[in-house]
Amino acid sequence: MTLESAPQFDGAPLALPIAAFQPSDTESVVTLWKACGMTRPWNDPYKDIARKQAVQPELFLIVRDGKDVIATIMGGFDGHRGWVNYLAVAESHRGQGIARTLMSEVEQRMQAEGCPKVNLMVRPGNDAIIAFYEHLGYTVEKSVALGKRLISDR
């Protein structure tokens, strides 16, 4: 899928292709994630990228504008549920349907693998992002996310 097949915004067709992440994209991706406030001290983004390259790398997608990576999404399917992480769009490219198109693409790829449901987590207070996902058909579910780090990134 390309962004050309996504809904048009501001009357102009979007023409940036979705591509698979390549190792040469690493620095640009980390820079984007930092600019979007997605990195955390306890998660090394370089290790997150390396881990993703070892498991379902075809679900790690990017969008470039020229040579710059301006959007990312990282999906995964464990045979029971799909997960989405690192959906990021550069501030300069927001409002063009890029995030919506990336979500649609990763959902289609997971569905083709038999994925019946996609889960994702949003940090509390990020109301704009929650509204974005609700607009895509996601619902806030009454659950508590628990986590346990098995391998330290520090």
Instruction: Give the distance, in angstroms, between the CA of residue 73 and the centroid of all CA atoms in the same chain.
Output: 2
Q: What is the pLDDT of residue 14?
A: 56
What is the chain written as a DSSP string?
A: -BGGGSPPBTTB---PBEEE--GGGHHHHHHHHHHTT--BTTB-HHHHHHHHHHS-GGGEEEEEETTEEEEEEEEEE-SS-EEEEEEEE-GGGTTSSHHHHHHHHHHHHHHHTT---EEE---TT-HHHHHHHHHTT------------SS---
List the domains of the chain with CATH numbers: 3-120 (3.40.630.30)
Q: What is the pLDDT of residue 51?
A: 96
Q: What is the pLDDT of residue 8?
A: 40
Instruction: Give the distance, in angstroms, between the CA of residue 8 and the centroid of all CA atoms in the same chain.
Output: 20
Structure tokens at 27: 């620095």
Q: What is the pLDDT of residue 154?
A: 80
Structure tokens at 14: 């979007």
Q: What is the pLDDT of residue 15?
A: 66
Instruction: Give the distance, in angstroms, between the CA of residue 19 and the centroid of all CA atoms in the same chain.
Output: 13
Residues of the chain below pLDDT 70? 1-15
Q: What is the pLDDT of residue 54?
A: 97
Q: Over the stretch 105-147, which tens digit does the pLDDT of each residue have?
A: 999 999 999 999 999 999 888 999 999 999 999 999 998 888 9
